[in-house]
Structure 1
Amino acid sequence: MSSFGRWLSKGLVVAAATSMGLVSVAQAQEAPEKFKIGGVTALSGPYGLLGEDMRRGVQIAIEERDGKIMGVPIEVVWEDDETKPQTAVQKTTKLISEGSHMIFGAVSSASTLAIMNLTKQRKIPHLVTISADDKITVPGGSRYTFRTSNNLDMENRMAWAYTEEKQIKKIYAVTADYQATRDGWTWFKKKAEENGVEIVGEDFAPLGNRDYSSIVDKITKSDAEGVALFMTGSDVVTFLKQASQVNLSESKIIFGPVVADDTMAEAVGTGALGVNSGLRYHYTTDNPANKKFVDAYYKKFGEFPAMTAGEAYDGMSWWLDIVEATKSWDKEVWIDAFENSVRENSVEGKKTMRPCDHQASQPGYWGEVVEGTPPAPALTMKITNVFTEDKLFKACAQ
């Protein structure tokens, strides 16, 4: 049967059912008592700090709408995935069964990919604002998953650009033993070797590793000019604290695709000074939307928003604005609208959702940990470079 025939057949069935009082368009579009958001993120373990910041960002996005969408109260139920994919699926299944209209999360790319498979199967919108694995947004990956934050490819490209800028010729790499970070290091290593950069050492540490002393000792004794860190969260904090005990940053350039933000710098202390990193968001970005968000966040929490807070706020605000604009309670209508949307007033500048892969194209920020001047924290990130989106994203295949 042709697509028109299927449409006509379906229309006749609906019309007949309506005439019999079995269904009505009004009932199908009836507003719920609450707009339910299921939040699945790390609230404990190595990524727990990141997950808590995400909750804060979402909270501000909802509060600035007076807690409502299309006149309906917004309710968020948070679940801790413990940075475990199986747990993430269990918690997401629970949230969907309880009537969530969308799923938000997670931190870990492994958890996000697991959630993505479930939301695709259940046809539930899924918003990603921090997980960077490239497999999350591939052409034809999932109609229901969208990422409004960076992907690994753009972050690796920024890290490589920094390597070239600093003319680093010898690198020692430390990578969290986790698929997304391993993939990032694999890409970077290939790029380095193709351009004559020597890899003098590489180590893979388990997530949540507490002892980097032997790795730091090897790096200290090596002739590496740069130390590339493919890790994040508490793993970075632990590594840099132990590296600072031997003043590693005085003899090596420490950098990575996404290793540093103000939260990390505060946790590490002065040992974070000089660390260079890609930034998924920073509160100093100079535009009206970001100033408004930073003011609201600071008023509520008494501090400037961290990376994951900014990204969570930005993605959730974008999503809620699009849903509101549709004036519909049909999830498929939300999906169609979001995949063709542009966020002119993002806290990071203009973002454009790519229909081909549901990845937001956007500028990329690179920064360095420096001493802050009040009211900034004692240690803060200084944006040192902004990469335009045409340098970071391949065009969608036509």
Structure 2
Amino acid sequence: MRLFNRVATAAMVSCVLFTAPALAETVKIRDVTGRDVEVEVPVKHVILGEGRQIYFLAALDREEPFKRVVGWRDDLSKADPESYAAYLAKYPDIAKLPAFGGMKDGTFDIEQAVALKPDVVLMNVDAKTATEEAGYIEKLGKVGIPLVYVDFREKPMENTEPSMRIMGKLIGKEEKAEEFIKFRADNIARVTDVLAKADAKKPLVFVERAGGYSDDCCMSFGNENFGKMVELAGGVNMAKDIIPGTFGTVNPEQIIAANPDQIIITGGNWQGYVPGGAWVGVGYGADETEARRKLENLTKRAAFTGVTAVKDSNVHAIWHQFYNNPYQFVAVQQIAKWLHPDLFKDLDPEATFKELHERFLPLPYKGGYFVSLNVGQ
């Protein structure tokens, strides 16, 4: 009997050891700015410095993407209302989450953040200047709250992988982060490997950022973000040598003089920002017929007068938010298909996006992310 008791006790101890949750540990995380930040992981409470950071948080925890979120910036509902509505329908409690104004411009409420007792505040690197000027890192540090920078927008083709690894480490989903990173890399390779073997002429591409959002023309991208996606997809980014950074503006005269072979306009449903605007409302479950109509209207502007892309109907619209999340590989595939339809006739970017949803994301897939004036595409 005594032997039985000892065996039973050992079995119970073993059960406890193997079923107890992983103990928290303090680790140093190097963020995308090169800062070494001490964080106790896995974190239980997170403030999202941008609501659209849910794009990658959801890819790491499809069952409970909001479980750790105690506060977030209020941009998702305006920048991507369809996705927000879909998340709200599935997770109605997000309506109660404390929301902040624009952290990028320094209106972050530090007292509200402290009151929410986060284990970490996650900020996009484009908020770095405002964050430093306001002294947020020091103020949060005094109460033991670390701030970590990630980046999916300024240099997404460089910083997406480290940002996903940072988030994986923070929430204890490192294996899932590596799985996603491999899926992303493999799908980019489906484009770059083909191009490396082909002797294909690279068309000149003008990418207009948020065309129709305002009356001004024309915002574009330098050698990063959508500009880099065009290069990966086998094109030449027209604004590469005009815009020194990631974002900038191109004069209408420069577009006419360059005479691009292809035009890609980023769009989304920005009714919350510019009601009734000329923007092309592509995105989650978008009305593609209406999006195509608005895309055609944008070709009538003076900046596109007589250019080859318009004459040949090689004008396309793509979801703007690809510029700010880890799903850029879908955009790379779609752009490659537009630029080199013969090389990529068997590539199906929509199927890739569906697989992404099925393997990683909590929402069912809905189309509407791309439209073209070229009826063959």
Give yes or no for TM over 0.5.
Answer: no
TM-score normalised by structure 1 residue count: 0.36
Q: Between Structure 1 and Structure 2, which shows a larger proportion of strand residues?
A: 1
